[in-house]
Amino acid sequence: MPWLKQLDEAQRAPVQPPETMLHAFREAVRTVPERTALAYFDGRISYREADGLSDGIAAHLASRGLGHGDRLALMLQNTPHYVLALLGAWKAGAVVVPVNPMYKAAEVAHVLHDAEVTALVCGERAWEGYLRAAAADSPVRIALTVCELDLQSRDDERVLDFARTEPAEDADDLLAVARAGGAAPAGRELTGGDIALISYTSGTSGAPKGAMNTHANIAYNAERQHTGLQLPEGACIFALAPLFHITGMVCELSACIAGAGTLALAYRFEAGVVLDAFLEHEPAFAVGPSTAYMALAAHPAATRQHFASFHVLSSGGAPLPPALVEKLGAAFGTYLRNGYGLTECTAPCASVPPGKQAPVDPASGTLAVGVPGPDTVVRIVDDEGRPVPLGEQGEITVRGPQVVPGYWRRPEESAAAIPDGELLTGDIGFMDEDGWLYVVDRKKDMINASGFKVWPREVEDVLYSHPAVREAAVVGVGDAYRGETVRAYVSLRPGTPAAPDELIGHCKERLAAYKYPRQVEILDDLPKTTSGKILRRELRSRGDSGE
């Protein structure tokens, strides 16, 4: 079969990663010490400077008693401080726990307690606002704060819309510590089998749990990303996805280090700021959720010139509607490449190969997410774990060097989700005869309407084909007659009004009678995680409450 040949060819070209990303970083310091490693608005930090600053952080952490394998929580937006703290923590032998900076006090407290965090790096304003209190009732005994206005002087008020605060008396200043210098502690060299990150799942359903991404997991996917992108030597990568998310950590930061490139940072996503950064830094690659690309495409200032420097533009972290790929291509001459991965497989396990374009399944209208990468086996199985025939839907499983060994101190959940090293993703999909993988939906998001299965992604893709729809999410809500019925939430593109009845009719013309939404609610914005995933859980709760 053609698909078997294609996958076999991919597996015959194995990735040869460094043992850890610290090894790759030190090689970049050795070979291109004066190349810009980090660009932050008008600020620049070379590989040599980043090495010295992260050494200072490692020396300080060791002097404060941070031991090998201790956990350091890192709660920052996309700034150079994030990268310096990450490298410093790894040089000190620590495990980094990325924390979403949008988390509220209770969410942060869960992570600090669950991961038994010893040290915390965060912004000064967050420390003064609520993190001091959250850390007081936790294992945290070392605190370092940063001012996000440092390391640049442009102070773009569109995102850096705050003033400096007085340094905290009960926390050390990360940049001052870094500049104080010092040698990274000896005898704490990490290996590929050591845990690099405890990455907490986004919590779109249930309490977040920590996936243990090893240094080997990260190094494999970083090198795979760097090799597969085929970017120019020393290329600039723009951090469109947040670094605290596994996509940003691996596909941006780690892949950039693997290629000794420049990572361009802009604090947080704001479409106008990002477009300006595209022109200034001329990045060759960026990856982000489809919602970010929707915002960029809708911005009135966006032109083809903004996207002219890109060799590859990728989407990850949220479903990619085929209509958005078509819109971006027509408006900006740029092909948006799809991909698929999870926190538990350290970001990507399938992607669209260079020079290829993902097909759309003619039967379902689903856009392929790519083909499995080297050394990676993706299977489609039924409820008993048996492989299903090509073209049939089932649960997607992943086995390969990027799959985590388990969840932090949750052996039973680890055994259930990753039996014998094979990740049960909980995603429903199928594979065609050419080896393309299609993701239909989350297993638990399936809607049962009068006994008929409805996959929200299929309905959402139809909604996205309407010219007025900017965002769409479909959930099942209780219905006395049908058990569940299909309800859609949408936000509209500026200046393109549409009524609920119009959107229902649009779907009714294109979907079977049991699939089209009986209810449509128009919102200004759909609730999302900061990584861009639409929170169906919140929308489902809204629907069940009758709002």
CB contact set of 375 (below 8 Å; sequence gap of 6+):
11, 14, 15, 220, 400, 401
pLDDT in tens, 16-72: 999 999 999 999 999 999 999 999 999 999 999 999 999 999 999 999 999 999 999
Q: What pTM, to 2 d.p., does this model score? A: 0.85
| Higher per-residue pLDDT: 390 or 3 | 390
At residue 193, does pLDDT exceed 60? Answer: yes
Asked if 142 and 64 count as a contact pair (C-beta separation under 8 A), the reply is yes
In this prediction, residue 203 carries a pLDDT of 46
CATH 3.40.50.980 in the chain is located at 21-33+40-190
Per-residue model confidence (pLDDT) at position 530: 64
The Cβ-side half-sphere exposure at 482, using a 13 Å CA radius, reads 20
Q: What is the pLDDT of residue 1?
A: 37
What residue ranges of the chain are covered by domains with CATH 3.40.50.12780? 1-17+217-401+421-440
Write down the pLDDT at residue 192: 97
CB contact at 8 A, 51 and 32? no
**Can you tell me the mean pLDDT for 487-497?**
94
Quickly state the pLDDT bin for 244 (edges 50, 70, 90): very high
CA-based nearest residue to 37, from 260, 222, 286: 260
Percent of the chain with pLDDT over 70: 94
Average pLDDT rounded to a whole number, residues 155-178: 95
384-399 pLDDT, tens digit per residue, is 999 999 999 999 999 9
Judge whether 377 and 367 are in contact, CB under 8 Å. Answer: no
Residues 222-231: tens digit of each pLDDT: 999 999 999 9
Percent of the chain's residues with pLDDT above 90:
75
Q: For the domain 1-17+217-401+421-440, what is the CATH superfamily, name and number?
A: ANL, N-terminal domain (3.40.50.12780)
Q: Any long-range contacts for 537-541 (C-beta under 8 Å, 24+ apart)?
A: 537/204, 537/205, 539/473, 539/475, 539/489, 540/475, 540/476, 540/477
Identify any residues that bridge with 452 across adjacent strands, giving them in sequence order.
Answer: 449
pLDDT value at residue 3 = 42
Residues 448-468: tens digit of each pLDDT: 776 667 878 888 988 999 999
Q: What is residue 459's three-state secondary structure?
A: helix
Q: Which CATH number fits domain 21-33+40-190: 3.30.160.40, 3.40.50.880, 3.40.50.980, 3.40.50.2300?
A: 3.40.50.980
pLDDT digit string (tens) for 434-448? 999 999 877 778 787
Q: 67-116: per-residue pLDDT in tens? A: 999 999 999 999 999 999 999 999 999 999 999 888 888 889 989 999 99
* Predicted local confidence at residue 366, as pLDDT: 87
What is the CATH code of the structural domain delimited by 446-544? 3.30.300.30
CATH 3.30.300.30 in the chain, residue ranges: 446-544
